[in-house]
Amino acid sequence: MKQFYRDLAPWLKLLLRRRQQFLVGTLLVWVTLLAGLSLLGLSGWFIVACALAGVALAAGLPSSLDVYVPGGGIRFFALLRTVARYVERLYNHNTVLTLLADLRHRVFGDLTRLDDASLKRRRASEWLSRLTSDIDNLDNLYLRLLIPPVAALLTILGVSAFIAIWLPVVGAVVAVVLTLLWAVVTFGYGWLGFANSYQQVSDQEELRRLVLDQVQASAELLSYQTQGWHRQKVEQHEALAFNNQRRLAVKAAMGNAFLSGVTGCLLIATLWIGSMALSAEQVVGPILVMAVIAVLGINEVLVLLPAAFLKLGLSYGAAQRLNALKVNQPVFDVVELPENTEGLSLQFDQVSYTYPESVAPALINLQATLPSQARAVITGVSGSGKSTLAGLVMGRIAPTQGAIRVAGISPWHISPESRADHFALLTQQTDLFDGTLEENLRIAKPSATEEELWQALSSVALSHWVQQQPKQLSTHVGEKGQQLSGGQARRVALARLMLRDPKVVLLDEPFAGVDAETARHLAMSLDQWLSGRTAIFLLHQIDDVSLLPNVDCQWHLDGGRLITDTTADS
C-alpha cells in the first residue's frame, strides 16, 4: 500500500494543486445528483398526495392539498438539475482540459531532461504513448476516481439524513447499507480488477507497437516474406488482450449486478420498515413513497463506480510508466556561459563513451582540440560515432570516461538555457511542425522581422521558391514538412538555425539532398554566417573540398577512434 501511494502521490499532488476547482466541480456534481433525487422524490410524494386527496374527495371525505408549493418545487428542481448539469459539465470539462495540460507539461518537461542515451532506448511511438494514452489514463483519477465517489458519498449521507427526519430507522439502515456498498464498489472493486486493468496498460502498448511495425515495416516484411508471421503475432497478442479485456468486462457486469441486487434488497427493506411505520401511523403514505423513490434513485449515484474502480490498475500502471521518466541525474553545480564571449574552444581529453546495455564503446579515447572560432571537418561512415560526438558537444550525454570541455567547462554542466543560447546542431533528421514557413522559422527567433525571415530563406536559396508560392511565408509545410521536398525541408531547418546567434555550431551533412549549384550557394552563406563561430562539419566523406572553405582541422572517425588529425588547407 505504501508503494501504491508513493507511485500515485506525485500525480495526486499535481491534480490537487487545483483543489479549489476540484471542490467546486465536486459540489456541482453533488448539487446535480441531489436535484435529480429531489425531483424524483418530490414528484413521487406529489403524485401520491394528489391520488390520496382525490380518493378522499371521491369518498365524500373532506380533503385539501396545496398544489402550488410542491408544483413550484418540482419545476425548481427540474430547472436546477438542468442548469446544474450544464454548468457541471462545462466546468469539469474545462478543469479536465486544464489538468491534461498540466500533466502533459509535467511529462514533456521530464522528457526534455532525459539524455540522448535514455531517449534512444525507446521508440518514438512509445514516447508518444506517454504523452497521450498514459496521461489520459491518469486523467481518470480526477474524472472517475476522485469526483464521483466523493459526490456519491455526500449524496448517500444527505439522502439518509433527509429520510431520517421522518423515518429514523430507515435513514440509519440506508446510511449503513449504502456506505458499506460504497466502500465495496470503490476499494473492493479497485482490488478486484487491479490485475486485469494493470495488464491492459502493457497490452495496449505492445499491440500498438506491433501494429505500427506492421504498417511502417510493411515493405521489409513483404520482401522477406514474413508478413504472415508478423500478422499472426499481432493476432495472437490481440486475442490475449481481448481475453483480458473480456474478463474485466465480466467483472464490471458482475459489479453492476451486485449493485442492483443490494439496492433492490435495500428498497424492499425500506418499503417493509416504512410500511410498519405507516401501520403505526408514524408516517403518512406520501412520505413513505418519497423515501422509497429516493432509495430507488440512489442506484444512479453508484452505478458508475464499479466500472471506474475496476480500472484503477490502468491509472496506476500509467503512473508507474511516467514515474520511470524521472531519472536520477548526478548532482552538480549548473554553470552559465558568459554572454559576451566571442567564441568557444572545444577540447576532447581521452573521451570515451559507451551506451547503456551496449558492449562495444561508441567512442574510444578521443584526444583533440579545436580553438575558438576555428572550423573542423569530421568524416566517418555511419556508425563511426559522429552522432555520439555531437551529443557530447551539445551536452545531451556525459562521457563515460575522460572529459570534454567548451571554454574549459563540461557541456554536461552547462544549464540547458545557456546551451540553447550558445550551441546549435543541424541534425540529419529534419524536424518541421505542421504549420506555416513563418511559424517554423520563428521557433528559432520569435522576434525576427519579416526582413530577417526573407534573409534567412535567401541564405539557403529558398527565397525565390517561396516568393512563387501563393501564400509565400504563410505556405503550410505539412506534418514533418511533408509538403516540401527533402532538400527543401532540410534547408528550412538550416534557415531556422541561421536565425539564431550561437557560438558553437555542429552541422551534420548540411549539403545532403541538394544539387551542386545549391550546395555552392549554401557553402558561401555558411562561410559568411560561421565567421566568428566555432564550427564542426560532420560528413560521411568530402566530395567537394570547395564546399568547405576556411577549414582549420580535418579529422576522421573510424570505429569510434579518431585516427587522423591533420591541418586542412584553407
**Which of 333-337, 400-404, 421-425 has the least mean pLDDT?**
333-337
Q: Cβ distance 562 to 555 under 8 Å?
A: yes
| pLDDT tier, 204 (very low <50, low <70, confident <90, very high otherwise) | confident
* Cα 98 from Cα 89, distance rounded (Å): 14
* Cα 437 from Cα 322, distance rounded (Å): 34
Asked if residue 270 has pLDDT above 80, the reply is yes
Each residue's pLDDT tens digit, 489-501? 788 888 888 888 8
Asked if residue 338 has pLDDT above 80, the reply is no
Asked if residue 327 has pLDDT above 60, the reply is no
Edge-to-edge order in the sheet of strand 553-558: 423-426, 504-508, 534-539, 375-379, 553-558, 561-567
* Cα 243 from Cα 381, distance rounded (Å): 48
- Mean pLDDT score of the chain: 81
- Amino acid identity of 458? S
Looking up cell 422509497 gives: 292
* Cα 498 from Cα 479, distance rounded (Å): 22
Q: How many CB atoms lie within 10 A of CB 11?
A: 24
Asked if residue 342 has pLDDT above 50, the reply is yes
* Cα 293 from Cα 290, distance rounded (Å): 5
Q: Cβ distance 206 to 240 under 8 Å?
A: no
Asked if residue 566 has pLDDT above 60, the reply is no
User: What is the average per-residue pLDDT within 80-85?
Assistant: 92
Each residue's pLDDT tens digit, 235-245? 888 898 899 88
The predicted structure's pLDDT at residue 333: 60
* Cα 28 from Cα 366, distance rounded (Å): 65
Each residue's pLDDT tens digit, 506-563? 888 888 777 788 888 888 888 888 888 888 888 887 777 777 888 888 888 887 787 7
The predicted structure's pLDDT at residue 569: 45
User: What is the average per-residue pLDDT within 56-64?
Assistant: 76
- Amino acid identity of 6? R
Q: Cβ distance 514 to 487 under 8 Å?
A: yes
* CA angle, 551 then 554 then 557, to 5°: 145
Region of residue 461 (left: phi > 0; alpha: psi -120 to 50; beta: else): left
The predicted structure's pLDDT at residue 13: 79
The predicted structure's pLDDT at residue 476: 78
The predicted structure's pLDDT at residue 179: 92
Q: Pinpoint the residues of the chain covered by CATH 3.40.50.300.
A: 346-567
**Radius of gyration of the chain measured on its C-alpha atoms:** 34
pTM of this structure: 0.64
* Cα 302 from Cα 427, distance rounded (Å): 55
Instruction: Identify the three-state secondary structure at position 370.
Output: strand
Question: Nearest CA to 537 among 405, 425, 381?
Answer: 425
The predicted structure's pLDDT at residue 570: 40
Asked if residue 567 has pLDDT above 60, the reply is no
Q: How many CB atoms lie within 10 A of CB 70?
A: 18
Superfamily of segment(s) 11-323: ABC transporter type 1, transmembrane domain (1.20.1560.10)
Helix (H) or strand (E) holding 117, with range, is helix 116-119
Q: Cβ distance 505 to 529 under 8 Å?
A: no
**Which of 87-101, 291-305, 472-486 has the least mean pLDDT?**
472-486
Instruction: Identify the three-state secondary structure at position 493.
Output: helix
Q: Pinpoint the residues of the chain covered by CATH 1.20.1560.10.
A: 11-323
More confident position, 156 or 514: 156
Asked if residue 216 has pLDDT above 80, the reply is no
The predicted structure's pLDDT at residue 82: 93
The predicted structure's pLDDT at residue 125: 63
Q: How many CB atoms lie within 10 A of CB 556?
A: 17
Looking up cell 474478463 gives: 247
Each residue's pLDDT tens digit, 412-444? 777 777 887 788 888 877 777 777 878 888 887
Superfamily of segment(s) 346-567: P-loop containing nucleotide triphosphate hydrolases (3.40.50.300)
| Strand residues in 110-183 grouped as ranges (E) | none
Exposure on the CB side of residue 537, measured as CA atoms within 13 A = 27
**Which of 187-191, 309-313, 430-434 has the least mean pLDDT?**
430-434
